[in-house]
Amino acid sequence: MALSISEVNALDDAQFEAIFGNVIELCSDAAVQISKKKPFKNLADLCKAFDQYLDGLSKAEKLVVLRLHPDLAGRLASQGELTRESTAEQRSAGLLDLTEEQKSIINTSNEAYKTKFGFPFIICARENKVQSIIEGLQRRYNSTQEQEITVGINEVKKICKLRILDIVKD
């Protein structure tokens, strides 16, 4: 799909929600709210609306958004139950093709991270590879929860932007 910004602006709310409902993982509320902001001047303006939606959330709402994300290389991935977008992203980072040793390091680090912070480790998989993901998991474990909420939401913004670029042409 490659819609122009005028085609995006011509969508009704239901169509907009159907097309943009998963640019933030499983968070169709974002598309519902952002559809009301049509028309958008250009692609950057549309991306900015999603960033502003995320920035405008309370801490509790940010936690909900972070918790909507699947683990990297986790149970849903091994059962083939990720969303279409997440499957493609995890594949591009090499996460669907791990050695048993890498899988075990990532799973153990993911569990430790979730126990400490109360939400899954989130990183834009399309901008990373297995090694940088393992390093990120181990490094970010040492942060505070406040820092990880900020970093996690920033990663959600990167994932969101790349998903929008798959839908809308500049």
Ligand X SMILES: NC(=O)N[C@H]1NC(=O)NC1=O
Active site residues: 69
Paired residues of 168 in beta bridges: 3
Q: What is the CA radius of gyration of the chain?
A: 16
Decide if 17 contacts 26 (C-beta within 8 A): no
Region near ligand X per CB under 6 A, out of 3-11, 14-22, 101-109, 122-130: 122-130
Phi, psi of 97 (to 5 degrees): -140, 45
Region near ligand X per CB under 6 A, out of 8-16, 26-34, 43-51, 118-126: 118-126
The answer to whether 69 contacts ligand X (rule: CB under 6 A) is yes
Q: Which of residues 136-165 bind ligand X (CB under 6 A)?
A: 159
Q: Which of residues 2-61 bind ligand X (CB under 6 A)?
A: 25
Decide if 169 contacts 4 (C-beta within 8 A): yes
Among 89, 109, 117, 130, binds ligand X (CB under 6 A): 89
Place of tokens 């390091």: 105
User: Which stretches of the chain bind ligand X, using CB under 6 A?
Assistant: 25, 69-72, 86, 89, 120-126, 159
